[in-house]
Chain A
Amino acid sequence: MVTRPDTSAVLSVHGLRYEVGDRAVLDGVDFVAPAATTTAIMGPSGSGKTTLLMCVAGLLTAKAGRVEVNGRQINTLSPRQRASVRLTDIGIVYQFGELMPELTPLENVALPALLAGSAPSQAYQRARELLAELSVGEVAQTPTAALSGGERQRVAVARALVNRPSLLLADEPTGSLDRAAADLVADVFFRLPQAHGCAAVVVTHNPRIAARADAQWELDAGKLTMDRP
């Protein structure tokens, strides 16, 4: 099933193609992610899920196709402009958190807000609120390296939300967690679109996690097909 670009959607992807050498990792991918919804992209390991997410985030440059965030085509922007879009419009949660171990969780969360020019008091206040909302407020000042895997991922989610993005991307956010911790993070993650009004796209190979999304897509051999609308 092919979806046309939808200008009302937060994220709209059309005809996305990405190649590594002679191999097409993504071959004409189309999908949309409306506001306040969750979208899951599934697929076996090596199918290109993370590549798709990185192309959407502008971290990788696609060979062809369009990626629009809030109606703005980002894959034709300069690296500096793409970084600016990521800072203000997109929040990303990586598989392994990717927190800076030297900073406290509170500082890690406040970091993008400070980069975006927020006043320190507002940035830290927002960071505290998010950490509390995600049930990790009590570890705000704990050394980051001492956090558990679930705590680190929730801090990473808080960091992704601190600039109130309209699009939240998550790359296997529960991939490194046990079932209980994965459920906890998933509970948090799938509540976010409704609570914050953003579109959320999660890449996972865990069907149980994907089943909680509003829409599910399957990526295989470079093609994206809708599994469940």
Chain B
Amino acid sequence: MIHSDAALARLGYRSGRHHPLSGIAHRLGLLLATMMVILAAWAGLAIESASSQRQLRVDAREPVFAAEGGEAVAHWFESADIVDDRQFPLIYLVPLDASAPPPPGLPRWPRPGEVFISPALLEADATVARRYGTYAGPIGQMGLTDPNEWLVYLRPTDSTVILERDPPTLITGFGQSAVRNRDERTTSLYDYGPTSLYQLLLWCVVLPTVILLVTAVRVGADVRDRRLAMLDALGAPRRARAWFVAGEAAPAVAAGALLAGGVAAATATVDIVLPVVDYRLLASDLRPALRWLPGVVVAGAVAVIAAVIGSVWRQDRAAGTGPREVRSRVRRWPRILFMLALAATIWTATTAYRGGGAAYGSRLEQAFLLSLAIVLLTTPATVATFAGPVGGAIAWLGRRRGWLPALIGGRWLQHRWSALTRMAAAAIVGVSLASLVSVNISTSGSATTGIREQLGDRILTVRGGENAERYDQFIADIGAHRTLRVLLVENQPMLVGDCTAIGALGTSRRCPATPTGWDTVFDKVHPEGAAIMNGSASILVSGKPLLSSTIPAGATTIGVLVLNPAGAGAAEAVARSAYATLGIADVSRPGQYSIGGNDRLARVYAWFALFFVAGLAVLLVSTVLGALDVFAAQSRNLGPVGGVYSGSRLFVGTAAWNIGAAFAMVVLGGGAMAMILSFLYIRLRAADLAMMPWPTMLRAIVGIAGLAVGLSLLCGWVATRSARAWRPAND
């Protein structure tokens, strides 16, 4: 039995080589699909492995607070700073026991005024080396989550600043704390968590890979179906048919598995920088997953072979001896499933909207996403349902007007709408995913960069604890004429500065000696003053604070506003002064936290973009394969025409009508569905201010039109060549 199985597999392999175009497309498709299946699985393992290794490094540098017991070896305090609108951890250290091990990645404890900086931060902005004190060296890889991390360890010149901080800062060392499930203190703020990456992988890579697999499996199916029908007629059992098709697919699948295995192994050998997100992926982080790679490669290859066999497993029995009418293989169930899933999507979105929006990770959200996935997967088949009538209408037009390309292309569309399904599925899903990504970005936040554009760095907010004497020192260093002290008096903010500083906020009538309202002080308020007054210039000020040139009794200083007309050029000097005089400081620009938040979102969406671009590439391959499959079959039927027609306009025109109509349906059907799903997603999040993805849709339409033109030319060329080479079948 084994020998005959192998013989059948060999026969299958050899028979598949006799159909040049569809055979090549089928094998290429299987090779790429196998690669994608394996690489998608490897990506999942890589995410798990990299995040595990990263977590180990985070655990190793986490402080163990003395409050949990043990002898204190250092003071440890975490703050943050911002470079290029990106916030990063700033960790203050004051060792009590110099013999205790320093944090991972540091060769020793920093001396007073010294700072260790991660290489990536230093590369991004070299000026930070002088901002916090004396640069002592880079933080080693063992102390970083990944090479891209921005992190600073510093020891203030005046160690006592750390004692003024609350909560307690004494630590007994670094590493796993005895306290479980506590918040991590040193995790970088800007990286995507593994759960989110898995979701991106699922939606943007796995889903397109499934579509590619289905497309690749069915490329050239009509030729294989005829062969298998012949085998069936000869009495071949299913097992024999399975070996036959497996034999045909095996070389391409094996090649794809080897290539994918090689690529995956390479990522565990050499560090790679992921494009778009500019993230350096450490090969050493992926190495623990290598032991799973052989299994993944074999399982991926087996899965693709199984899909190939599964696609031909169920054969229709012939109802008679006459030729059968060309009939679509697309069944009714996808449309029913589509309707049910769409109803579920509408229900979950509406229910969530009534409840004020679905929380991330909630069951309602999960139900929405599940039904959304089903809608996306069944949309192509549903859209293709309309291909028959549309094709008939085009053929009617072609016949009426004598447009042969329209007649042939329309009839093709009318009778082969399942081929259209395969060809257009990728584009339909691509349009929907693009719209959903776009609307997701829109619902997650809107950039409020106006205040930044208006004020730039002309007002800086400096915070450094509540020690009034340190603030005095800072103000003296900067100059009283350009600083406004922010006080809290009975929980109300108040600005105190000398008359020059207050006068810089507007055209003043008088200098207020006691707390006074803005209307009394100014005839006209300058833009800087207006921004301070309405709370947009600083996070310390809100609700139109009173102004005074003297500090009232009982007031607490919470920060300083620095009037910085020189702008960005002078901001670094202010920051340097703040760290030197205040010890632990925070310097921010107008709108910093809002913009920083948006910047963080931008980084998150860069990950979105990375996965989406990968998925889109897979979908594009699916579309091209589907189109080639359609025209490989069509050009066979157009062969007799090639006997009496040697031009190419007929074939290109036929391709244009066929593909143009198909993609018009993608734009209409898939686009409408994408907009409906986008609207439902906005309802799910109850994000009424989110924008519908019209620009994305416009770009998608332009892209699909370009794709349609390119494919029409390609397929027209293929059909022309095929028709010219056609010879009639005879015995």
Which A residues fall within an 8 A CB radius of B?
Answer: 45, 50, 54, 57, 59, 79-80, 82-84, 86-87, 92, 94-96, 98-103, 107, 111-112, 114-115, 119-120, 123-124, 143, 145-148, 171-172, 175
- Residues of chain B from 279 to 329 with CB closer than 8 A to chain A in the complex: 322-326
In the bound assembly, the distance between CA atoms of A92 and B642 in angstroms comes to 13
CB distance from A56 to the nearest CB of B (A): 13
Instruction: Say yes or no: is B2 at the interface (Cβ < 8 Å to chain A).
Output: no
Chain B residues in 8 Å Cβ range of A57 = 643
B325:A143 contact, CB within 8 angstroms: yes
B416:A102 contact, CB within 8 angstroms: yes
Instruction: Say yes or no: is B476 at the interface (Cβ < 8 Å to chain A).
Output: no
- Residues of chain B from 678 to 731 with CB closer than 8 A to chain A in the complex: 724, 727-731
Chain B residues in 8 Å Cβ range of A175 = 730-731
Chain A residues in 8 Å Cβ range of B640 = 94, 98-100
Chain B residues in 8 Å Cβ range of A99 = 640
B728:A96 contact, CB within 8 angstroms: yes
Contact for A115 among B411, B644, B727, B729, CB less than 8 A: B644
Instruction: Say yes or no: is B340 at the interface (Cβ < 8 Å to chain A).
Output: no
A94:B728 contact, CB within 8 angstroms: yes
In the bound assembly, the distance between CA atoms of A50 and B731 in angstroms comes to 9
In the bound assembly, the distance between CA atoms of A54 and B728 in angstroms comes to 9
Residues 392-428 of B, flagged 1 when their CB comes within 8 A of A and 0 if not, give 0000000111101001100110111000000000000
In the bound assembly, the distance between CA atoms of A115 and B640 in angstroms comes to 12
In the bound assembly, the distance between CA atoms of A84 and B326 in angstroms comes to 31
Contact for B730 among A111, A124, A145, A172, CB less than 8 A: A172
A101-B415, A171-B730 known; A79 vs B646 contact (CB < 8 Å): yes
Instruction: Say yes or no: is B641 at the interface (Cβ < 8 Å to chain A).
Output: yes
A102-B326, A103-B411 known; A80 vs B402 contact (CB < 8 Å): no
B322:A115 contact, CB within 8 angstroms: no
In the bound assembly, the distance between CA atoms of A96 and B556 in angstroms comes to 99
In the bound assembly, the distance between CA atoms of A54 and B730 in angstroms comes to 12
A146:B322 contact, CB within 8 angstroms: yes
CB distance from A115 to the nearest CB of B (A): 5
Instruction: Say yes or no: is B645 at the interface (Cβ < 8 Å to chain A).
Output: yes
Instruction: Say yes or no: is B591 at the interface (Cβ < 8 Å to chain A).
Output: no
20 further interface pairs, Cβ-Cβ under 8 Å (given A107-B411, A171-B728): A54-B728, A59-B643, A83-B642, A83-B643, A94-B728, A96-B729, A98-B729, A100-B408, A102-B415, A107-B399, A111-B641, A114-B404, A115-B645, A115-B650, A120-B399, A120-B401, A145-B325, A145-B326, A146-B322, A172-B731
A114:B646 contact, CB within 8 angstroms: no
Instruction: Say yes or no: is B448 at the interface (Cβ < 8 Å to chain A).
Output: no
A107:B402 contact, CB within 8 angstroms: no
In the bound assembly, the distance between CA atoms of A100 and B407 in angstroms comes to 12
A45:B401 contact, CB within 8 angstroms: no
B643:A92 contact, CB within 8 angstroms: yes
Instruction: Enumerate 12 A-B pairs (CB-CB under 8 Å) in ascending A order.
Output: A80-B646, A82-B646, A87-B644, A94-B728, A98-B639, A100-B640, A101-B637, A102-B414, A107-B407, A120-B400, A143-B326, A145-B324
Which B residues fall within an 8 A CB radius of A?
Answer: 322-326, 399-402, 404, 407-408, 411-412, 414-416, 637-647, 650, 724, 727-731
Chain B residues in 8 Å Cβ range of A82 = 646
B643:A103 contact, CB within 8 angstroms: no
Chain B residues in 8 Å Cβ range of A83 = 642-646
Top 8 nearest A-B pairs (CB, nearest first) are: A120-B402, A83-B646, A102-B411, A87-B644, A94-B728, A98-B640, A80-B646, A95-B730
In the bound assembly, the distance between CA atoms of A70 and B640 in angstroms comes to 23
In the complex, what residue of chain B is closest to A60 when comparing beta carbons? B727
Chain B residues in 8 Å Cβ range of A79 = 646, 724
Interface centre among A45, A84, A114, A147 (most CB of B within 10 A): A114
Interface centre among B400, B401, B416, B729 (most CB of A within 10 A): B729
B641:A54 contact, CB within 8 angstroms: no
CB distance from A68 to the nearest CB of B (A): 19
Chain B residues in 8 Å Cβ range of A111 = 404, 641
A148:B646 contact, CB within 8 angstroms: no
In the complex, what residue of chain A is closest to B646 when comparing beta carbons? A83
In the complex, what residue of chain B is closest to A152 when comparing beta carbons? B323
In the bound assembly, the distance between CA atoms of A143 and B323 in angstroms comes to 11
B323:A103 contact, CB within 8 angstroms: no
Majority secondary structure, B binding face: helix
B408:A54 contact, CB within 8 angstroms: no
CB distance from A141 to the nearest CB of B (A): 11
Chain B residues in 8 Å Cβ range of A102 = 326, 408, 411-412, 414-416, 637
A94:B637 contact, CB within 8 angstroms: no
In the complex, what residue of chain B is closest to A86 when comparing beta carbons? B644
Chain A residues in 8 Å Cβ range of B402 = 114, 119-120, 123
B728:A98 contact, CB within 8 angstroms: yes
In the complex, what residue of chain B is closest to A82 when comparing beta carbons? B646
Chain B residues in 8 Å Cβ range of A59 = 643, 727
Chain A residues in 8 Å Cβ range of B643 = 57, 59, 83, 86, 92
A95-B730, A171-B730 known; A87 vs B399 contact (CB < 8 Å): no
B729:A95 contact, CB within 8 angstroms: yes
A54:B727 contact, CB within 8 angstroms: yes
In the bound assembly, the distance between CA atoms of A111 and B404 in angstroms comes to 8
In the bound assembly, the distance between CA atoms of A84 and B644 in angstroms comes to 6
In the bound assembly, the distance between CA atoms of A152 and B238 in angstroms comes to 33
In the complex, what residue of chain A is closest to B728 when comparing beta carbons? A94
A94-B728, A172-B730 known; A145 vs B641 contact (CB < 8 Å): no
In the complex, what residue of chain B is closest to A108 when comparing beta carbons? B640
In the bound assembly, the distance between CA atoms of A221 and B303 in angstroms comes to 54
In the bound assembly, the distance between CA atoms of A183 and B439 in angstroms comes to 69
In the bound assembly, the distance between CA atoms of A99 and B642 in angstroms comes to 13
CB distance from B691 to the nearest CB of A (A): 44
Chain A residues in 8 Å Cβ range of B645 = 83, 87, 115
In the complex, what residue of chain A is closest to B391 when comparing beta carbons? A102
CB distance from A203 to the nearest CB of B (A): 9
Interface centre among A99, A145, A171 (most CB of B within 10 A): A145
In the bound assembly, the distance between CA atoms of A147 and B323 in angstroms comes to 7
A103:B407 contact, CB within 8 angstroms: yes
Interface centre among A50, A100, A112 (most CB of B within 10 A): A100
In the bound assembly, the distance between CA atoms of A103 and B644 in angstroms comes to 17
CB distance from A43 to the nearest CB of B (A): 13
A146:B404 contact, CB within 8 angstroms: no
CB distance from A201 to the nearest CB of B (A): 15
Chain A residues in 8 Å Cβ range of B731 = 45, 95, 172, 175
Chain B residues in 8 Å Cβ range of A145 = 323-326
Chain A residues in 8 Å Cβ range of B642 = 83
In the complex, what residue of chain B is closest to A176 when comparing beta carbons? B731
Interface centre among A94, A102, A114 (most CB of B within 10 A): A102
A146:B323 contact, CB within 8 angstroms: yes
Contact for A148 among B322, B637, B641, B647, CB less than 8 A: B322
In the complex, what residue of chain B is closest to A101 when comparing beta carbons? B326
In the bound assembly, the distance between CA atoms of A203 and B220 in angstroms comes to 33
In the bound assembly, the distance between CA atoms of A123 and B408 in angstroms comes to 16
In the bound assembly, the distance between CA atoms of A171 and B728 in angstroms comes to 9
In the complex, what residue of chain B is closest to A95 when comparing beta carbons? B730
A115:B408 contact, CB within 8 angstroms: no
CB distance from B638 to the nearest CB of A (A): 7
CB distance from B551 to the nearest CB of A (A): 90
Chain A residues in 8 Å Cβ range of B325 = 143, 145-146
In the bound assembly, the distance between CA atoms of A57 and B407 in angstroms comes to 27
B641:A115 contact, CB within 8 angstroms: yes
Chain B residues in 8 Å Cβ range of A94 = 640, 728-730
Chain A residues in 8 Å Cβ range of B727 = 54, 59
A100:B644 contact, CB within 8 angstroms: no
In the bound assembly, the distance between CA atoms of A103 and B408 in angstroms comes to 7
In the bound assembly, the distance between CA atoms of A96 and B637 in angstroms comes to 13
A112:B408 contact, CB within 8 angstroms: no
In the bound assembly, the distance between CA atoms of A146 and B326 in angstroms comes to 9
In the bound assembly, the distance between CA atoms of A39 and B389 in angstroms comes to 46
Chain B residues in 8 Å Cβ range of A112 = 644
In the bound assembly, the distance between CA atoms of A107 and B403 in angstroms comes to 12
In the bound assembly, the distance between CA atoms of A86 and B324 in angstroms comes to 31
